[in-house]
Structure 1
Amino acid sequence: MRTRFSCLRAAALPLALAAAFPLHAQNAAIAPELAATVVTATRVAQPLSDLVADVSIVDRDSIERSGAAGVADVLARLPGVEITRNGGPGTSTSVFLRGAESRFTAVYIDGVRVDSQSTGGAPWEQIPLSQIDRIEVLRGPAAAVYGSDAIGGVIQLFTRKGEGGPAPFVGIGVGSHGTSRAEAGISGAGGVDGAFDYSLGVAHEESSGFNARPIAGQNPDKDGYRSNSFNTRLGLRIDARQRIDATLLANNLNSQYDSSPKADDRSLNRLRTAGLGWTAQWTDAWKTRVQVTDSSSRYQTTPSPYLTLTDLRGYLFQNELRFGAHLVTAALERREDHLKNAPIDRGRHQDGLALGYGFTQGAHTLQLNARHDKDSEFGGKTTGSAAYGFAFAPNWRATASAGTAFRAPTLYQRFSDYGVATLQPESSRNLEAGLRWSQGGSSAGVVAYRNRVSNVITFAGAGACPSPFGCYANVARAEYKGVTFSGEQRLGDVALRGSLDFQDPRDLATDKLLARRARRHGTLGADTRIAGWTVGAEAQFSASRFDNAANTQRLGGYALLGLYASTRLSRDFTLQARIDNLADKDYQLARNYATPGRVAFVSLKWMPQ
C-alpha cells in the first residue's frame, strides 16, 4: 500500500523544530568533538560558530552506526538530501542536494576534486565508504569559493588522520544478500613531538545482491558487487610553522546490472585520488597553502563494450590573513579536465582567482566572496556571494545570504555525437534565510531558500549535432525552492532528532516537477543507553515522486524504519548490529529498479584502547 505523507506531517513537524539527525545541525552546536572547526564553507578552517552557511557534519561513529553500504546512503539521512539508485549498492547513483541535479554538487575527497566529464557529477558508487572518516556537507551555492559546479552545494569527504600512539583496528561484518565486509588499518603519530602522522586502511566488501530489475526481458539473476579499496594519509611537520601532507585513495568496484535477457552484464569501476600539499604559517597572522591534486574515474561495461575515463588535475595556491575580527583569503587555482570516451579524446582547463573576507565580532558575522574563472573554451565567468548572521538574542541567530554559481558543460556534452561545442555554462542565483536556536545539547533551525538556474543543459531534439536522435542544448530553466526544519532534543536519557524538508524542484519551462525528487521528505530518530548497550531507531520518509520529466510515471511514497544497537564486548571489541527497512517495504527510487527490502548487518571491530 502506498505510504501517505500526511502521517509524516502529523508526527514529524512538531519534532522537526526540536529534533535533528545526529551531527548535522545547520550551524548549530553539534557535538563537542566536532565543534572546533569546519573547512568546507570557506575552504579554510573556521570555528563552526563563526559560519553563516548551512552545514552538516557526520563523523566516523555515526557512519559506522548507520550500517550504510555507500556514501550516498549516509547522505540520504541528512536534511536537504535525496538519492536515487538503479538497483543496489554499486550501481549508478545520484545525489540531489536541495533538489539540485547531481552534477550541481562539487565533491572532494581530502581536497581532491572528483567528477565525471562523461555523466557529469561525482561517481558516487565508486567512493568507498569504508575509507571515509568524516563528511562535511555545505548546502547552497559556493562557486565564489570553489569555482565551477557548486550550484547546489559542496560535499567534502575526509579519510582518517593519524594522531597519538599507534591505533590499529580490524573489523569484520556479515549481512543479508550474502554481504560480507572486512577491513583493517592503523593510524598514529611518531617522531619528536609527533611530527610524523600516518593512517593506512584497506577494505574488501562483496555481496551476492538481489535481482535489481524484476521485469520481463531482463536477466533474472542476482546483481551483486565486489569492492576492494585502500587509502593512506601521511603528514610531516617540518618545523613549528611548516607541514607537508600526502593522501592517496583507490577503489576497484565490479558490480552486476541488467540490460539484456541472459548476459551477465557488469560495470567495472576504478577510482583513484591523490594529493600533495604544503602549509606554511609565516607569521601569527599569515598562512599559505600550496596543493597539487589528481583524480581518475574509470567506468567500463562488459560484455557490451563501453569505456569512459575522466582525469582531473588541480593546482591551488591559497593565502589567509587573520587580524583581530577579520579574515581575508586569496587563492589562485587551476583545474585541468580530460575525457577519453571514444571517439572523444579532449581536454580543457580553468584558471580562477578567488577573494574572501570574513568578519566576526559580538553578535555580527559577515562573509563576502568573489571569484573569476577563465575557461579555455568559453571564456570568463564571475561569481559572488554575501552572507550575514545576527545573534539578536541569547541562543538565537538569524542569517541571510545571496550567491551566484555556474557549471561549465562537460566535455561529453560538447564533443560527443550528441554534443554541441557552443554550449554555455549553466548559471544560478540563490537567496536564503535562516533562523537558529541552540541551548546546551538542544537545537532547532529553519532555512528557506530559492535557487534559480538558467541555461540548464538538457537533451533536446535534433539540432546542431551529428545525431539525428537529439542534441544537448541550453534550453531549460529550473527553480529549486524549499524550507528545511531540523534540530535535536534530549528528554532524560533519550536523544531525539529529526528533519523535515518541504521543497518544490521545478522545470520552469514546463512547470513540471523535476524527476525523482519528492516535494516532502524527512527523518526521525532516537537513541539511548540501556544496560551497557546503545540502542536506537530511525525512520526515513519520502512523499511520491515522478520518474520522468513529463510527470506521468509516479513513484510511490515510502516510510522506512531502521533499528540499531552496539555494545563493548570487552575493552577492545565492539559489536554492532542493524536492521534496515524493518517492515520490508516494497518501494522504488527509480522506475523498474528494485530496492533491497529488509536487510540486517552485524559487525565486530577490534580496536585496542
Structure 2
Amino acid sequence: MSFPSRTLLGLAISAAALNTFAQDEPATITEETVVTANLTKQSSFETLASVDVINTQELQKLQISNFADALNLLSGIDVTQSGGPGTPVSVFSRGTSSQQTLMLINGQRFSSATNGFSSIQLLDPALMARTEYVRGSRSALYGSEAIGGVLQFFTFEEGKQPENWGLAEAGSYNTLRAAAGSRGTIDATTYSIGVAAVDSDGFDSQENNDNGNDDNDGFTNKSLNLSIKQELEGGFDIGLTHLQSKAENDYDSLYVVNPSRKQDLRVTQVSGGYTSDSLYSTRLNLAESKDHSKERNTDENVATSYFETVRQSAYWLNNFQFNESTLLNIGLDYHQEKVDADFGYNDFFTGEPATYTKTERDNTALFAQLQLNLNKVDIDLGVRQDDNSSYGTQTSGSAAAGYSFSDTYRAYISVAEGFQAPSFNALYYPGSGDSEILPQESLNQEIGLKARYQNWNWQVAAYKNEITNLIEWIPDESGNWKPYNVTVDIQGIDLSAQAKLGAFTLAGNATYVDPEYKELGMIVQKRSKEKLNLIFGHDIGNIDYGLIASYYGKREALGDFLPDYSLFDIYGNYALNSNVTLSAKVQNLADEDYVITPGYNTSGRTVKASVNVSF
C-alpha cells in the first residue's frame, strides 16, 4: 500500500473514531475567520478554498521561534533552508516553486524583485498576531505570484483585549531571543507595538569545508513593529503599520571564504477607509516595502555585492453589498518596483560595473469579484487584468461553487488561472537574463470537502495544477546558467483535522504532491512528495505538554533521491500564575541525521527554555 493510501486510511479511521466520541460533547473548537481568500471576512468553513490559520496562542504554546518551523506544520507546504538560522527560506506550496507563493504583510507584498524570494526568515513570530494560508491559485484577486497559494501575516488584530507581554528564551547554539510589546483595542483604537531580538552562534552550514568555511554560521536579527488604527465618526478609519527587521548572518559559500549577509526588511503602510451598514464601503492603502541584502567578506570586511528592491504601491478596494446574498468587490492595484544592485564585478565587454539593463517597472491592475449566496449554494467569480511595463498584459480568471449539505458538511469545486511575473534576474541579469522570457501561467482545478462537528473538524482537497512557461534555471552548453520556460504538471491531495476531547488535543495533516516536468517525465527538484504531521497535546491544570511528530518523504535533488526522515519534538508549559508561564522544548529528540539540501548540514537535537509574561 502506498504512502498516500496508507496515510489517508489511517486518518479516516481516526476520524471515524473521533466522530463516535464527539457527537454529544459541547463545542470546544473556535472556528477561525479569514479574509485573505476573498478579501471579505468569512469563516474557514464557508470559504471556497482550503485554508489554515496560525494564531499567537498556538505559536506560544508550541514554542515556535521562526516561521519556517510554523509553516512546516501545515499541509500542502514543504519548507527548505540551505543551512541554519537566518538562511533564506524556500516555501514550496503544493509543489510549486518558492517564488510562486504570494506573501503579504498586512496586504503589502514584500518579496525581492530581483530573485523573487520573500525574507520570511526575518519575521519574528512574536510580532505577528495571526497568519492566514490559502492554498491554490488566487491570481484573479492578487495577480502575480499567487499560483501555489497566498500567505498573509498580520501584525495586529481587532477586538482583542489590551495585553502587555514579554518573553525571554535561551537554547542550543548559544541562542538568545527576547521580545516585548503591547497589543489590544481600547475604545476606537486598535494598536500593536513590539520589539524583538535574536542572537545565535548557529552551526557549520556546509558539509565541505575545503574552501576554509569550517566555522559556525551565526545569526542576529532585531525587529520593530508599530501598528495603530483609529476609528473615526461616520464610519471612517485611518491606520498606520510599520514593520522593520535588520539582520546579519554568516553563511557558507562555494566561492567566497567566510562571507556574511546583511539584510534589511521594511514594510510601511498607511490606510484609510469607510464602512457603512448599507450598500457601500471602501478602503485605500498606500504602502512602501524595502528588501535590502548586502554580502561581504568578513575576513576583509569588504562588500562583495548588494541587491535592493523598493516597492511603492496603492491599493483601492470597493465593496458593494447589494443584499444579503450578493456582494461585488471592485479594486485598483498599482505598484512600482525599483531595483539597485552591485554585482561585485565588471562587465566583460565594457569594463564597467555590471548592472541590470533595466532597473524599474510598474504594474497596474483592475479586478472584480462577485460573491453570490443562493440558499445552500455559493458562487464566487473573479477576474483581474494586469498591465506590466516589462511583459505587457495578463488576464486571470477564477470560478468556484460550493454546496452546503448541512451545517456539518460542505463541498466546493474551483477552477482558477494564475501567473507569475518574471523576476529582474530572469529578465535582465547580466550575461544570463532573457528579456523575452515569458510570464509563468497556470490552470488550477480543485475539489474539496469540509466537515465541522461540536469539538472537531476536518478538510480534504484534491487538485491538479498545470503550469506552462515555468521558469527554471538550466546550464547551457557553455555551462552558463540561464532561465528557460518549461511545463510542469502537479497533482496532489491535502488532508487536515483537529479535535479537542476534554483535556486532550489532537491535530494532524497529510500531504501528497506529485510535481513532474511534462516534457521530460522527471520529478521537479527539492519537493518532498509525502508529508505527515501529528500534534498531540494534554492539559493538566496549569501544565500542558505535547508531542510533535513529522514525516518527510524522499525528495529528488541533483539527480538523486534524498532519503526520507522523521522528526520528533516534545514541549511543555507550566503556568506559575495567570501572568507568568515557564516553557521548555526539545527539537529533533532522536537526533536524526537528515539532509534537506545536498551539501548543507541540518540541526541536530536542540533544547531551549523560555519564560512568557503577560499582564
- Normalising by structure 1, we get a TM-score of 0.91
**Residue 235 (structure 2) pairs with residue 241 (structure 1):** yes
Alpha-carbon shift at residue 198 of structure 1 (Å): 2.0
Q: Which residue of 1 aligns with 2:539?
A: 529
Read off the aligned partner of 1:457 and give its amino acid letter.
I
Tell me the SS of whatever aligns to 2:232.
strand
State how far apart, in whole Å, the 2-side matches of 1:260 and 1:308 are: 19
Task: Tell me if structure 2 keeps the 8 A contact 1:17–1:487.
Answer: no
1:429-444 equivalent positions in 2, closer than 5 A: 429-444=443-458
Q: Which residue of 1 aligns with 2:206?
A: 213
State how far apart, in whole Å, the 2-side matches of 1:425 and 1:141 are: 15
Task: Tell me if structure 1 keeps the 8 A contact 2:503–2:540.
Answer: no
User: Are residues 592 and 189 of structure 1, via their aligned partners in 2, closer, same or farther at CA, if it must alter by over 3 Å?
Assistant: same
Deviates more, 1:166-175 or 1:368-377: 166-175
Q: 2:435 aligns with which of 421, 440, 449?
A: 421
Alpha-carbon shift at residue 491 of structure 1 (Å): 4.5
Task: Tell me if structure 2 keeps the 8 A contact 1:17–1:486.
Answer: no
State how far apart, in whole Å, the 2-side matches of 1:353 and 1:261 are: 45
**Residue 244 (structure 2) pairs with residue 250 (structure 1):** yes
User: Are residues 450 and 411 of structure 1, via their aligned partners in 2, closer, same or farther at CA, if it must alter by over 3 Å?
Assistant: same
Q: Which residue of 2 aligns with 1:143?
A: 139
User: Are residues 12 and 71 of structure 1, via their aligned partners in 2, closer, same or farther at CA, if it must alter by over 3 Å?
Assistant: same
- Could you list the per-position Cα deviations for residues 493-513 of structure 1 after superposition, in whole angstroms to 9, with x for gaps in the alignment? 322221111110111121111
Task: Tell me if structure 2 keeps the 8 A contact 1:217–1:261.
Answer: no
Q: Which residue of 2 aligns with 1:25?
A: none
Q: Which residue of 2 aligns with 1:568?
A: 575
Task: Tell me if structure 1 keeps the 8 A contact 2:31–2:43.
Answer: no
Task: Tell me if structure 2 keeps the 8 A contact 1:16–1:497.
Answer: no
State how far apart, in whole Å, the 1-side matches of 2:7 and 2:465 are: 29
Q: 1:582 aligns with which of 589, 593, 596?
A: 589
Alpha-carbon shift at residue 128 of structure 1 (Å): 2.7
State how far apart, in whole Å, the 1-side matches of 2:163 and 2:394 are: 47
Task: Tell me if structure 1 keeps the 8 A contact 2:455–2:501.
Answer: no
Q: Which residue of 1 aligns with 2:332?
A: 332
State how far apart, in whole Å, the 1-side matches of 2:500 and 2:162 are: 35
Tell me the SS of whatever aligns to 1:212.
coil
1:305-324 equivalent positions in 2, closer than 5 A: 305-322=304-321, 323-324=323-324
Alpha-carbon shift at residue 287 of structure 1 (Å): 0.5
User: Are residues 355 and 208 of structure 1, via their aligned partners in 2, closer, same or farther at CA, if it must alter by over 3 Å?
Assistant: same
Q: Which residue of 1 aligns with 2:153?
A: 157
**Residue 413 (structure 2) pairs with residue 400 (structure 1):** yes
**Residue 96 (structure 2) pairs with residue 100 (structure 1):** yes
Tell me the SS of whatever aligns to 1:497.
strand
Q: Which residue of 1 aligns with 2:67?
A: 71
User: Are residues 19 and 211 of structure 1, via their aligned partners in 2, closer, same or farther at CA, if it must alter by over 3 Å?
Assistant: farther
User: Are residues 9 and 222 of structure 1, via their aligned partners in 2, closer, same or farther at CA, if it must alter by over 3 Å?
Assistant: farther
Tell me the SS of whatever aligns to 2:69.
helix
Alpha-carbon shift at residue 76 of structure 1 (Å): 0.8
Alpha-carbon shift at residue 282 of structure 1 (Å): 4.3
Structure with more relative contact order (C-alpha pairs < 8 Å, separation 6 or more)? 1
Read off the aligned partner of 2:599 and give its amino acid letter.
N
Q: 2:489 aligns with which of 469, 475, 479?
A: 479
State how far apart, in whole Å, the 1-side matches of 2:564 and 2:275 are: 52
Alpha-carbon shift at residue 129 of structure 1 (Å): 2.6
User: Are residues 509 and 565 of structure 1, via their aligned partners in 2, closer, same or farther at CA, if it must alter by over 3 Å?
Assistant: same
Tell me the SS of whatever aligns to 1:318.
strand
Q: Which residue of 1 aligns with 2:19?
A: none
1:77-226 equivalent positions in 2, closer than 5 A: 77-161=73-157, 166-190=162-186, 194-218=187-211, 219-226=213-220
Backbone CA RMSD of aligned residues = 2.3
1:586-605 equivalent positions in 2, closer than 5 A: 586-605=593-612
Task: Tell me if structure 2 keeps the 8 A contact 1:217–1:260.
Answer: no
Task: Tell me if structure 2 keeps the 8 A contact 1:289–1:317.
Answer: yes
Q: Which residue of 2 aligns with 1:24?
A: none
Q: 1:296 aligns with which of 277, 290, 293?
A: 290
Deviates more, 1:11-20 or 1:85-94: 11-20
Task: Tell me if structure 2 keeps the 8 A contact 1:198–1:235.
Answer: yes
State how far apart, in whole Å, the 2-side matches of 1:147 and 1:189 are: 33
Read off the aligned partner of 2:508 and give its amino acid letter.
G
Alpha-carbon shift at residue 8 of structure 1 (Å): 9.2
State how far apart, in whole Å, the 1-side matches of 2:8 and 2:218 are: 35
Read off the aligned partner of 2:112 and give its amino acid letter.
S
Tell me the SS of whatever aligns to 1:63.
helix
Task: Tell me if structure 2 keeps the 8 A contact 1:19–1:498.
Answer: no
Deviates more, 1:515-524 or 1:526-535: 526-535
Task: Tell me if structure 1 keeps the 8 A contact 2:49–2:448.
Answer: no
Tell me the SS of whatever aligns to 2:219.
strand
Task: Tell me if structure 2 keeps the 8 A contact 1:16–1:487.
Answer: no
Q: 2:523 aligns with which of 505, 513, 516?
A: 513
State how far apart, in whole Å, the 2-side matches of 1:239 and 1:31 are: 37
Q: Which residue of 2 aligns with 1:499?
A: 509
- Could you list the per-position Cα deviations for residues 501-553 of structure 1 after superposition, in whole angstroms to 9, with x for gaps in the alignment? 111011112111111111111101211112421111111111111112xxx22
Q: Which residue of 1 aligns with 2:395?
A: 382
Alpha-carbon shift at residue 606 of structure 1 (Å): 1.3
Read off the aligned partner of 2:341 and give its amino acid letter.
N
Deviates more, 1:591-600 or 1:357-366: 357-366
Read off the aligned partner of 1:586 and give its amino acid letter.
D
Alpha-carbon shift at residue 15 of structure 1 (Å): 2.5
User: Are residues 315 and 491 of structure 1, via their aligned partners in 2, closer, same or farther at CA, if it must alter by over 3 Å?
Assistant: same
State how far apart, in whole Å, the 1-side matches of 2:556 and 2:579 are: 48
- Could you list the per-position Cα deviations for residues 136-155 of structure 1 after superposition, in whole angstroms to 9, with x for gaps in the alignment? 00000000000111011100
Q: Which residue of 2 aligns with 1:14?
A: 10
State how far apart, in whole Å, the 1-side matches of 2:396 and 2:196 are: 40
State how far apart, in whole Å, the 2-side matches of 1:262 and 1:378 are: 35
Alpha-carbon shift at residue 83 of structure 1 (Å): 0.6
Please, which runs of 5 or more residues in structure 2 have no aligned partner? 17-26, 298-302, 343-354
Please, which runs of 5 or more residues in structure 1 have no aligned partner? 21-29
State how far apart, in whole Å, the 1-side matches of 2:410 and 2:160 are: 37
Tell me the SS of whatever aligns to 1:141.
coil
User: Are residues 556 and 243 of structure 1, via their aligned partners in 2, closer, same or farther at CA, if it must alter by over 3 Å?
Assistant: same
Q: Which residue of 1 aligns with 2:300?
A: none
Deviates more, 1:512-521 or 1:437-446: 437-446
State how far apart, in whole Å, the 2-side matches of 1:187 and 1:491 are: 31
State how far apart, in whole Å, the 2-side matches of 1:582 and 1:55 are: 30
Q: Which residue of 2 aligns with 1:23?
A: none
State how far apart, in whole Å, the 1-side matches of 2:537 and 2:341 are: 48
Alpha-carbon shift at residue 554 of structure 1 (Å): 2.2
Task: Tell me if structure 2 keeps the 8 A contact 1:19–1:488.
Answer: no
Tell me the SS of whatever aligns to 1:284.
coil
Tell me the SS of whatever aligns to 2:10.
helix
Deviates more, 1:210-219 or 1:283-292: 210-219
Alpha-carbon shift at residue 571 of structure 1 (Å): 2.2
- Could you list the per-position Cα deviations for residues 334-389 of structure 1 after superposition, in whole angstroms to 9, with x for gaps in the alignment? 11111112312611111111110112243211111111111112211111111111
Tell me the SS of whatever aligns to 1:478.
strand
- Could you list the per-position Cα deviations for residues 207-228 of structure 1 after superposition, in whole angstroms to 9, with x for gaps in the alignment? 1111111324142211110110
Read off the aligned partner of 1:554 and give its amino acid letter.
F
Q: Which residue of 2 aligns with 1:369?
A: 382
